[in-house]
Amino acid sequence: MSGSSASLQPPADAVKPVRHPDAPAPGDLLGAHYEHCFGCGPGQPHGLHLEARAGEGVALTAEFTVQPAHQGAPGLAHGGVLATALDETLGSLNWLLRTVAVTGRLETDYVRPVPVGTTLHLAAEVTAVAGRKIYSRAVGRLDGPDGPVAVRADALFVEVKVDHFIDHGRPEEIRAAMSDPDQVRRARAFEVNP
Ligand SMILES: CCCCCCCC(=O)SCCNC(=O)CCNC(=O)[C@H](O)C(C)(C)COP(=O)(O)OP(=O)(O)OC[C@H]1O[C@@H](n2cnc3c(N)ncnc32)[C@H](O)[C@@H]1OP(=O)(O)O
């Protein structure tokens, strides 16, 4: 069974997403937005180290290889980790819009078990935008970009101001991220247009 809930159906006045003119070119790796991000950061030993690559329009692809640290049942990826991979992939789309946004709702279908050692091939796209609301979907496949579907998600991201992170984040990490001398890294920690 699948199908997303009513709150993930774009309203009648939703518009098509517009790729930002400064978005990375199709085929370019997006790179980690923040060193300590559990989804993509190189500084998280047990993180997913997910690598996303810009596609055409407001779409991208990503890969994540399931490690032993990501198990739920013996030899199988934990469902929450797979949801994280989908969330991270979907969240990366906002970089192509250059909109700062956070996940409001994420609905996941688990279609096939994902063994440890598997590389999950993810593809995601923004389907519609309505004011601050960004509607998107993603699919994760086994054995290659055209392999069998293992997971699917529909999501709603909500645009926020950078204050969202400043007001709610733990001061130590906020201070460290804000004092990074690299201007691009500093901005991307919050996915703000540098
Ligand atoms: C830097 C980027 C990193 C990316 C990492 C990957 C992405 C992530 O994991 S982000 C972390 C997880 N997410 C969070 O922590 C978000 C926590 N939630 C919040 O902060 C707030 O609830 C937030 C910002 C989503 C919405 O709050 P707020 O800004 O007050 O907006 P609010 O007025 O409630 O909602 C705006 C619209 O979105 C809709 N909406 C908000 N949440 C939901 C939801 N869960 N389901 C459906 N609709 C929703 C509202 O109905 C409203 O719609 P409308 O404009 O039609 O009335």
* Ligand 1 contact, 189 CB (< 6 A): no
pLDDT at 1: 54
**pTM for the model:** 0.97
Q: Which atom of ligand 1 is closest in space to residue 105's alpha carbon?
A: 45
- The one-digit pLDDT tens for each residue of the chain (194 residues) are 557 899 999 999 999 999 999 999 999 999 999 999 999 999 999 999 999 999 999 999 999 999 999 999 999 999 999 999 999 999 999 999 999 999 999 999 999 999 999 999 999 999 999 999 999 999 999 999 999 999 999 999 999 999 999 999 999 999 999 999 999 889 889 888 76
Give all domains of the chain, ordered by start, each with its CATH number.
Answer: 17-188 (3.10.129.10)
91 CA to middle of ligand 1, Å?
Answer: 12
Residues 6+ apart with CB under 8 A from 19: 57, 58, 96, 97
Q: What is the DSSP letter of 11?
A: P
pLDDT at 192: 80
Q: Are 23 and 54 spatial neighbours (Cβ–Cβ below 8 Å)?
A: yes
Q: Where are the extended beta strands (E) located within 97-172?
A: 101-110, 119-130, 133-141, 149-159
Q: Which atom of ligand 1 is closest in space to residue 11's alpha carbon?
A: 56
Question: Any idea which residue has 């999501």 for tokens?
Answer: 155
* Ligand 1 contact, 157 CB (< 6 A): no
* Ligand 1 contact, 185 CB (< 6 A): no
Note the ipTM here: 0.97
**Cα gap 25→130, rounded to integer Å:** 25
Q: Are 154 and 107 spatial neighbours (Cβ–Cβ below 8 Å)?
A: yes
Q: Which residues pair with 60 in a beta bridge?
A: 54, 124
* Ligand 1 contact, 191 CB (< 6 A): yes
* Ligand 1 contact, 88 CB (< 6 A): yes
* Ligand 1 contact, 158 CB (< 6 A): yes
Q: Which atom of ligand 1 is closest in space to residue 102's alpha carbon?
A: 10
Q: Whose CA is nearest to atom 42 of ligand 1?
A: 104
Q: Whose CA is nearest to atom 37 of ligand 1?
A: 133
- Phi and psi torsions of 46, nearest 5°: -105, 10
pLDDT at 193: 72
176 CA to middle of ligand 1, Å?
Answer: 25
- Phi and psi torsions of 62, nearest 5°: -150, 155
